[in-house]
Amino acid sequence: MSRDQRSEDNWALLHASQQAKEKGSDLIVVFCLAPGFLGAAWRQYHFMLEGLRELESRLRAKGIPFVLLSGRPEELLPPFLEGLGAGLLVTDFDPLRPKLEWKGRVLAATDVEAHEVDAHNIVPCWTASLKREFSARTFRPKFNHWAERFLTDFPSLRQSDAESRGEPVHWEEIMKNFKIDRSVPPVDWIKPGEVAAANALKRFCATALADYGLARNDPSKNGQSELSPYLHFGQLSAQRVALEVGLADAPSASKSAFLEELMVRRELADNYCHYTPEYDSFGGFPSWAKETLDAHRFDQRDHHYSEKELELAQTHDDLWNAAQLEMVRRGKMHGYMRMYWAKKILEWVETPEEALRVAIRLNDRYELDGRDPNGYAGIAWSIGGVHDRPWPSRNVFGKVRYMSYSGARSKFDVQAYVERIGPMQVR
């Protein structure tokens, strides 16, 4: 278990359970706690570990042992599998490069049969499309072709009658002694874990979904679902979210707007990373964007900021500063502001490559839902025109879409957003 850290609504776990039943074998869940992952700090690890603590309890209530291995997967998993005499290894799907490298090294070091199950997407990534899609316009009909077949309810995870294996995980000791950058603290506005995720989904459907179509792009209002941290860590199934939203008492326009983001846009991001090995570099941009950014590479910038000034939100733009502070303090930036935020980094640093690097580092360091295909695709859209089209040419951006302070002010109450973020403190 790696990407989808939940006991219910988990196709990878359900497949493993069914295979164990058919083979007359025990089912054991193992999680490898890597010593680092793409710049994640204590904020992200704390959220994940608290969720895993709850997961162990829920699995053991089903008679399923949960084993936590601390270290690099390629070093720990092969001898662990050999020691068990394992007959089958089931893994969940993840398109990100470090996960693919771990998985490749594990499989190269063991003869155990392996199955990979995409438990993160509603339509498995390799089924939705066989290639990198140009945009949501080209991806949407392919996704919709398969959606009805795959958008079904889940069976319950069966009770296991296997003998309990291993000692319970000593969570307090791990939380205390795990060596990671602790300068980015946890946040207290969101509670981690599968139970909290289910409750958050119920609240959203009951209170915020009805206005989602109108409020989602207004950062001065609380119009978003706040579910992305749960989806990122796999504490909540996107498929379950889609099913519950479909049944909710809300205007069809709001439900359609939300499901477009949850299903088409989110799974398009997995498509981008799965079929684009350079998803986090300039080379991953479409040809037209690389050409136009190269043509404007040496344009004069009206403002220039160092990476540290950006990290500390020390720019002339109070809207951008508020977005950066929201991310640093809260661990989650409003979706509309993430686009504006990334585009301004392109406008204020020396090169597109530097803009991409800085945006990814800050996003992955502070966002609870960073280090995710959604983040990489979103930043690549903002800086490199991925999933977008050419626009009228202008300074620095070339034909990459531009966003302005005045444009934001015409869409929502900028001052209200700035004032709301200003006094916020994380305990």
Stretch 380-398: mean pLDDT: 98
User: What is d(CA 27, CA 88) in angstroms, rounded to the nearest whole number?
Assistant: 10
Tell whether 189 is covered by a domain: no
Q: What is the pLDDT of residue 393?
A: 97
Claim to verify: residue 258 and residue 126 sit in the same structural domain: yes
> In 3-state terms, what secondary structure has residue 376?
helix
Q: What is the pLDDT of residue 215?
A: 86
Claim to verify: residue 264 and residue 356 sit in the same structural domain: no
pLDDT at residue 98 greater than cutoff 60: yes
pLDDT at residue 164 greater than cutoff 70: no
Claim to verify: residue 112 and residue 127 sit in the same structural domain: no
Retrieve residue 201's tokens: 């989904």
- Write the CATH number for 225: 1.25.40.80
What is the length of the chain? Answer: 427
Retrieve residue 47's tokens: 């959220």
Share of the chain above pLDDT 90, in %: 92
Tell whether 384 is covered by a domain: yes
> In 3-state terms, what secondary structure has residue 209?
helix
Contact 39, 371 (CB under 8 A): yes
Q: Does the CA dihedral 271-273-274-278 come out positive or negative?
A: positive
Q: How many CA atoms lie within 13 A of 202 on its CB side?
A: 6
Q: Which domain holds residue 203?
A: 120-155+194-275
Q: What is the pLDDT of residue 36?
A: 82
Pick from 88, 85, 71, 82: nearest CA to 31: 71
- Write the CATH number for 38: 3.40.50.620
Tell whether 181 is covered by a domain: no
Neighbours of 83 (CB within 10 A): 8
Using one digit for the tens of pLDDT, what is the confidence trace for 184-198?
Answer: 999 999 999 999 999
Given 61, 94, 119, which residue is the final one in a domain?
119
Q: Looking up tokens 């993840």, which residue turns up? A: 94
Tell whether 98 is covered by a domain: yes
Q: What is the pLDDT of residue 427?
A: 35
User: What is d(CA 400, CA 403) in angstroms, rounded to the nearest whole number?
Assistant: 10
Contact 335, 323 (CB under 8 A): no
pTM for the full predicted model? 0.95
Mean pLDDT over the full length of the chain: 95
Please list the residues that pair with 29 across neighbouring strands.
66
User: What is d(CA 116, CA 12) in angstroms, rounded to the nearest whole number?
Assistant: 8
User: What is d(CA 26, CA 94) in angstroms, rounded to the nearest whole number?
Assistant: 25
Claim to verify: residue 213 and residue 316 sit in the same structural domain: no
Claim to verify: residue 101 and residue 221 sit in the same structural domain: no
Claim to verify: residue 57 and residue 127 sit in the same structural domain: no
Q: How many domains does the chain have?
A: 3
> In 3-state terms, what secondary structure has residue 337?
helix
Tell whether 45 is covered by a domain: yes
pLDDT at residue 280 greater than cutoff 90: yes
Q: What is the pLDDT of residue 38?
A: 83
Q: How many CA atoms lie within 13 A of 409 on its CB side?
A: 7
Tell whether 163 is covered by a domain: no
User: What is d(CA 416, CA 76) in angstroms, rounded to the nearest whole number?
Assistant: 51
Q: How far apart are the first and last CA of the chain?
A: 31
State how far the alpha carbon of 131 is from the alpha carbons of 134, 276, 282, 386, 396, in Å. Answer: 9, 9, 19, 15, 31
Claim to verify: residue 239 and residue 293 sit in the same structural domain: no
State how far the alpha carbon of 422 is from the alpha carbons of 158, 166, 223, 418, in Å. Answer: 49, 48, 19, 6
Share of the chain above pLDDT 70, in %: 97
Please list the residues that pair with 114 across neighbouring strands.
89
Claim to verify: residue 98 and residue 144 sit in the same structural domain: no
User: What is d(CA 151, CA 36) in angstroms, rounded to the nearest whole number?
Assistant: 34
Q: What is the pLDDT of residue 426?
A: 40
Q: Kindly compute the dihedral angle of the four CA atoms of residues 9, 376, 107, 233, in this order, to the nearest 10 degrees.
A: -30
Tell whether 170 is covered by a domain: no
- Write the CATH number for 398: 1.10.579.10
Q: What is the pLDDT of residue 171?
A: 95
Please list the residues that pair with 59 across neighbouring strands.
none
Claim to verify: residue 309 and residue 402 sit in the same structural domain: yes
Claim to verify: residue 134 and residue 269 sit in the same structural domain: yes
Using one digit for the tens of pLDDT, what is the confidence trace for 29-68?
Answer: 999 999 888 889 999 999 999 999 999 999 999 999 999 9
Contact 184, 198 (CB under 8 A): no
Using one digit for the tens of pLDDT, what is the confidence trace for 248-279?
Answer: 999 999 999 999 999 999 999 999 999 999 99
Using one digit for the tens of pLDDT, what is the confidence trace for 308-321?
Answer: 999 999 999 999 99
Claim to verify: residue 24 and residue 137 sit in the same structural domain: no
Given 119, 139, 174, which residue is the final one in a domain?
119
Contact 229, 368 (CB under 8 A): yes
Given 275, 308, 336, which residue is the final one in a domain?
275
424: confidence class by pLDDT, cuts 50, 70, 90: very low
Using one digit for the tens of pLDDT, what is the confidence trace for 305-353?
Answer: 999 999 999 999 999 999 999 999 999 999 899 999 999 999 999 999 9
Tell whether 185 is covered by a domain: no
State how far the alpha carbon of 226 is from the alpha carbons of 191, 199, 213, 236, 369, in Å. Answer: 11, 12, 15, 12, 10
Claim to verify: residue 26 and residue 95 sit in the same structural domain: yes
Q: What is the pLDDT of residue 189?
A: 95
Contact 348, 387 (CB under 8 A): no
